[in-house]
Amino acid sequence: MSNPYNPNQHMNFYNQQQPPHYQQQPNMGQHSMEQQVLSAMSPVINHGMREAQHLGYLHALREAVAIAYLMGQGQDFHSAWQMVESWWRPQTPQQPGTFY
């Protein structure tokens, strides 16, 4: 069974829905912040896209958002990823990870 979701199909809709101030050329400070945020989130997005192929979009989105939240709290990607992954791994035979 294939998943009909195609993340690229919504790009034109997204671009058309942008408020006018997003369609204008950003100032350098805003552009720098944009690049910094997009660069920091790139591994999270890549991880989420890989997870979505195997575990579904809902699970992948939960993981990606949880990782991004932890990164916002000061953790690096690898530490945040390890913590979030541990939530789905069984801790002991009697106590499985149940983040769903």
Say which residue, 26 or 45, is predicted with more confidence: 45
Residue 88 has pLDDT above 80, yes or no: yes
AA letter at 45: I
7-31 residue pLDDT tens: 454 444 444 444 444 445 556 677 8
Closest to 52 (Cα-Cα) out of 39, 40, 62, 66: 62
3-state secondary structure of 95: strand
Amino acid at 16: Q
Per-residue confidence band for 74, with pLDDT thresholds at 50, 70 and 90: very high
Query: What is the pLDDT at residue 30?
Result: 79
Q: How many other C-beta atoms can be found within 10 angstroms of the C-beta atom of residue 80?
A: 23
What is the pLDDT averaged over residues 71-92? 90
Given this model, what pLDDT does residue 41 score? 94
**Element housing 54 (H / E):** helix 28-55
CA 59 to chain CA centroid, Å, is: 11
